[in-house]
Amino acid sequence: MKVCTFVLIAALLSTSAFATKHKSAKGADLLFRLEAAFAQDAAQHGHDAFLTWFADNGVELDDGGGIVTKEEMRKQSPWAEGTSLTWTPVKADMAASGDLGYTYGNYVFKHKDKTGKLITDYGKYTSVWKKQKDGSWKVVVDMGNSSPSPKPQQ
């Protein structure tokens, strides 16, 4: 029982510390932290977690496709077993008003084709973040486009 209590207290403290880090961060640093938490959440929990980071009016601009609302994203099938999406921001910037910002970087999307073969797609993305009325930050626009595979290091 003491071990369970200790683990629960440690989890609560780490969650509190995580929230405090986000509140104390500002500008580009805040956006980098938000993007890292977003990516980690999606990597661990897939499609449903990906959607929690979108504002209610958030949209995704599909590579070669249309504009997909959050409501339409909710209707999409969960990511199949073995699917992973990882990304790394390389730049972030915040508006002087402090309520709007963007990040961009590179992503890797791994999934299986119809035959079960693992496919790896590479690309670039941009996320536009907006501070919500409750003080939280959500993605209002997410877009990506595919890129060729990276060249091997020599």
> pLDDT, tens digit, for every residue of 62-120?
888 889 999 999 998 888 888 899 999 999 999 999 999 999 999 999 999 889 899 99
In angstroms, the CA 103 to CA 119 distance is 26
Residue 6's pLDDT band, with cuts at 50, 70 and 90, is very low
Tell me how many degrees the CA angle 62-130-102 measures, rounded to the nearest 5.
60
Residue partners of 129: CB distance under 8 A and separation at least 6: 31, 34, 100, 101, 102, 103, 137, 138, 139, 140
Architecture of domain 26-147 in CATH?
A: Roll (3.10)
Strand partners, 109: 85, 121
Q: 18-22, 33-37, 72-76 — which is least confidently predicted?
A: 18-22
The answer on pLDDT for 3 being more than 60 is no
**Residue spans per domain, the chain:** 26-147
